[in-house]
Structure 1
Amino acid sequence: MFKFKRHFISVFLIFTFFFGIGINVADGHSFVAEITPAPNSQLKSSPQEVRITFGDRIDKNLASITVTNDKQKTVTSESVQLSENNKEIRLKLPKLTRGIYKVDYYVISSNDGHPMRGSYSFEILNSAFSQQEDKHEKENETVSPQRKGDEKSTSQNSDNHNHMRNDSNSAQPQETDESKGTLMELFIYLMRAVYYLGLLLLIGWVFWWNFVHNYSTEFKKKYLFWGIIIQMLHLIGLISMILNQLNVFASSGLISTLGFSFESHFSLMWLVSLALSLIGFACLFRNRWLDFLWIFIIALVKVLSGHSIDFKPTILLIISNFVHLFAASIWAAGLLFIIIYWRKQRLYVQSFLPLFSLYALLSIIILSITGIFTTVFFLSSADQLFTNWGLFLLAKLLVVIFVFIIGGLIRLKLKKHKTANLGLLVKIDFILMTIIVFLVSIITYLNPLP
């Protein structure tokens, strides 16, 4: 065990050295470059199409545009068309009458699998098609003076009523859509947090198993039981992530209009992750080297399906995020271990604490270094700190500061052999870790560019 421990520390230090010399600036990230018609624009005539251009290539099988009128009805059933360079999507439109129209779009970067969902509105003031309809209505009007006068009065009241109703409809559905969208976004963030938490705990739980598998039979049964629970948590989170990539969770509710494609890189990575998760139920906690091979592959697949492959130097960034994930897993699962066994098996916990304290300290150091390293790649200007991405990043930084404080208190109590309130500090540390995971699920979903 000591030999493995020494090798592990050496690997961490080597990676740290490379991170220190390898900082570079990123080339870019997928973002919306141009939209036609422009958001909140007022048009004199019906546009021929909706066109959205992105700064990077998008997956051709996972792109959608939906245009709805003020009655929330889809105006066309045409399919989305992609440009040859896979950076632009278009949707042909029929002749539209005057009114307000909402555009919802959803795409996924073909490189890193980053989803981009957005919506905006435009207004048609008075199209030629609308004028023809008005003319047709006037021709059908009766010429009776009395009725004409009545209709004029009724028309004025009707116009006022319709104007108020249209104003109400234009505001009320928008409020409803926004509230639905907010709830759906929150649901997506929660599902992403479940996935990340499940992945971290599973990798770490398998890792720590190879240090505690010589404990008592009762202890091992409980450990393996929690291993199954964590595997199920990871599988649920993984499936929800795949469904989210397929845009099943939309702002309007649960939909399923897109097919899964095996042509893109990220789709293949998600499929491999799903296969590994299912295989894990049969092969984990049986053989030491098989366990380490499994956690190595699933961590690597996760990194390869993320933002790392979309930036340069790609190899260095992949290594950085891999070590970041591995270090976070060791820390998270170790905290869960202490919380589970603290009350009824305190002796095992006390023998585990010195080892965990060492690895937790190394993990926090590595997390800080790799976190700064990754931030440098995304933070190309100070303006990004004032975006939603930047604000959540600052919130994460604040929580990390508290983690350092709690970690220092835990180590201080261990050195003084005062473990009376150690359980409470560990629980606080675990809660802070969970908050960080939730913030990460949001940060990795938002576009970092202003």
Structure 2
Amino acid sequence: MSKERLTIYFSFILIFFVVLTNTHQVWGHAFVIEQSPAPNSKLETPPEKITIAFNSEVEKDLAVINILNENEEIVVQNPVQISDNKQEISIELPILENGVYKVEYYVVSSNDGHPIQDSYLFTVENTTTSTQQPQEETRPEPPTSTNNPVNNDNPSINNNPIDNSNPSSNETLPTTNDSSIQTDTTVNENSLSEILYYVMRSIYYIGFILIIGWVFWWKQLQGYPATLKKKYLFWGTIIQMIHLVGLISMILVQLDIFANYGISLPTDFSLLSGFGFMWFGSLLMSLIGLFLLFRNKWFDYTWILFLIAAKSLEGHSVEFQPIIVSIVSNSIHLLAAAIWAAGLLFIITFWRKQRLYIQSFVPIFSKYAFHSIIILSITGFILSVIIYLNAGLVFNYWTLFLVLKLLAVLLVIITGYIIRKKIKESSQTDLGKWITFDFSIMIAIVILVSILTTLNPLG
């Protein structure tokens, strides 16, 4: 292995450990269709169990429900039950006292490996119990008052409850302020963790798209000089490491969540499940690719197909009907995006020092890019229609980011038209700048997609 490759490996290992120390919390699809008790509900009778239903199957070994009281203490240690159709989890409860309770749950979707995590509050206000206790306490007072008339006439006896309540209410004020401070701190920490998660997910998506396209374009460079191909392989190693760091970071986030919830993967855990196939299968192929990519075209094509299949079987493409159409459209969408993105990166990377060869490559790329944009538009439209037909048109964060993506795609179409026009006219004026601008839009689209695939289209 060359010194250059060793330097790249050790650099990305360092980045990997930096990411490892900052994995906290993960946000994913939240396809919950029913929660009982309902969020923010006030119950006069304590619930017998907590039930959460989903629109698809969840992993039975990766499900957790925690019930916490106002002191953030877990009030029940009962095991989580799962329904026969694997779409509902529940936990039996003891008799809960009056107060506010927090429900925390975490599951992993069986069909796509996505985490589903959320929390909410409900309140128990058993007024029957609270009204009966004062009556029982006041009944024994008459005999006591006859034996001690001084105390009976003393107004301080009746005022004691009020006096006691005032100091206690004053004492709770600092507690309330402290809790609000803790809440603000928790919100800030969660916001930072969420930002970090989206950054890691963007790195993963960028690496995923670029490495697939980089492997695809390798076959087009066989007639190019050895120095260019050597540099191409050098950049291929960098892109592989970007993808690997992003992939491992996403897996570590999942495992960190498992550890926080006390989940351990069972010995009979199937790697063919959505979670196993998506993450561990992709990790295995990525590690193999470090040593075998760019050596045999049939292995390269197989490697590409495996990664695309693993990615297509995760996310919205397996959440909505018709699933087959959605998966095929998503696979084609990913491949077209990879060809376009990696071609742009190749042109930008070698534009200055290998301009003669890049100029011969640009017309070839222009044809591929033209068809890729058309395919991306068609498959993107199909996927959007499928989600719309299943989820309905609801304005939320998902639709907002979808609109932003559509605007970015419109910019790509306009920019692509300008680039193709300059190529046909053999005009090199500002061509490099337009290609760089096109690449910048591509990065923005990939980041938007990484967010879109995390948000819930259902609202």
- The normalised TM-score by structure 1 is 0.82
CA contact (8 A) 1:44 1:125 kept: yes
Structure 1 CA distance, aligned partners of 2:76 and 2:132? 21
Find out whether 1:32 has 2:32 as its counterpart.
Answer: yes
Aligned to 2:421: 412
d(CA) in 2 for partners of 1:130, 1:102: 22
Matches within 5 A, 1:9-48: 31-48=31-48
The CA RMSD measured in Å over matched residues stands at: 3.2
For 2:129 and 2:233, the matched residues in 1 are separated by 69
DSSP-derived class of the 2:343 partner: helix
Cα distance in 2 between the residues matched to 1:190 and 1:256? 23
Asked whether the 8 Å contact 2:320–2:387 carries over to 1, the reply is no
- Amino acid corresponding to residue 268 of structure 1 in structure 2: G
For residue 86 of structure 2, what is the aligned residue in structure 1? Answer: 86
Preserved CA contact (<8 Å) 1:188 1:249: no
| Separation in structure 1 between the aligned mates of residue 174 and residue 95 of structure 2, nearest angstrom | 24
Q: Describe the SS at the equivalent of 1:46.
A: coil
Contact kept, 8 Å, 1:97 with 1:130, in 2: the verdict is: no
The equivalences for 1:115-134 within 5 A come to 115-126=115-126
Q: More deviation in 220-229 or 40-49?
A: 40-49
CA change 1:258–1:129 in 2 (3 A) is farther
Q: Matched residues in 2 for 1:264 and 1:129: separation? A: 52
Give the distance between the partners of 1:409 and 1:436, measured in 2 at CA.
Answer: 19
Correspondence list, 1:172-321, <5 A: 172-246=181-255, 248-249=256-257, 255=260, 257-260=262-265, 261-262=269-270, 265-270=273-278, 271-321=280-330
Give the Cα separation in 2 of the matches to 1:132 and 1:428: 73
* Residues 160 and 309 (structure 1), Cα distance of their counterparts in 2 relative to 1, 3 Å cut: closer
SS of equivalent to 1:386? coil
Stretch deviating more after TM superposition (226-235 or 59-68): 59-68
Determine if the alignment matches structure 1 residue 112 to structure 2 residue 105.
Answer: no
Question: 1:428 offset after TM fit, Å?
Answer: 1.9
Contact 1:110 1:264 in 2 (8 A): no
Partner of 2:386: 377
Return the index of the structure with the highest Cα Rg.
2
**Comparing 348-357 with 162-171, which one deviates more in the overlay?**
162-171
- The whole-number CA distance in structure 2 between the counterparts of 1:135 and 1:185 is 51
Query: Runs of 5+ in structure 1 lacking a partner?
Result: 1-28
Q: CA deviation at 1:367?
A: 0.3
Deviations 1:408-438 (A, max 9, x none): 2222222222223222222222221111111
Q: Which residue of 2 aligns with 1:74?
A: 74
Q: Partner amino acid for 1:89?
A: I
2 CA distance for matches of 1:57 and 1:36? 18
Distance in 2 separating the partners of 1:119 and 1:63 = 14
**What's the TM-score once normalised by structure 2's chain length?**
0.81
Whole-Å separation in 2 of the counterparts to 1:47 and 1:449: 28
How far off its partner does 1:170 sit? Answer: 5.7
2: CA distance between counterparts of 1:257 and 1:44?
A: 32
Contact 2:52–2:90 (Cα < 8 Å) also in 1: yes
Deviations 1:218-274, CA, capped at 9 Å, x for gaps: 22222111111111111122223333444x359xxx836323332662133122211
Instruction: Name the SS for the 1:79 alignment partner.
Output: coil
- Aligned equivalents of 1:185, 1:164: Cα separation in 2: 31
What is the alpha-carbon distance in structure 2 between the residues aligned to residue 179 and residue 393 of structure 1?
26
Measured after TM superposition, the shift of residue 45 of structure 1 is: 3.9
Could you say what secondary structure the match of 2:62 adopts?
coil
Identity %: 46
Deviations 1:91-144 (A, max 9, x none): 233333333222222222211223322221112234788889999999xxxx99
Contact 1:30 1:57 in 2 (8 A): no
Q: In the alignment, is the contact (CA less than 8 A) between 2:317 and 2:323 conserved in 1?
A: yes
Greater CA deviation, 325-334 or 301-310?
301-310
Residues 1:294 and 1:116: Cα distance change in structure 2 (over 3 Å): same
Query: Counterpart of 1:200 in structure 2: which amino acid?
Result: I
> Shift of residue 347 of structure 1?
2.0
SS of aligned partner of 1:285: coil
SS in 2 for 1:70: coil
Q: Structure 2, unaligned stretches of length 5 or more?
A: 1-28, 139-147
- Deviation of 1:84 (Å): 1.6
Shift of 1:163: 4.9
Q: Deviation at 1:185?
A: 2.5
Aligned equivalents of 1:442, 1:228: Cα separation in 2: 26
Paired residue for 2:435, among 426, 429, 437? 426
Q: Equivalent residue of 2:200, what SS?
A: helix
| Partner residue in 2 for 1:26 | none
Structure 2 equivalent of residue 436 of structure 1: 445
- For the residues of structure 1 that align with 2:382 and 2:53, how far apart are their CA atoms? 30
Distance 1:316 1:37, change over 3 A: closer
Cα distance in 2 for residues equivalent to 1:67 and 1:255: 15
Question: Counterparts of 2:364 and 2:389 in 1: how far apart (Å)?
Answer: 39
Moved more, 81-90 or 165-174: 165-174
Tell me the CA shift for residue 320 of structure 1: 1.5
> Deviation at 1:376?
1.0
Change (3 A) 1:103 1:256: closer
Aligned residues: 415
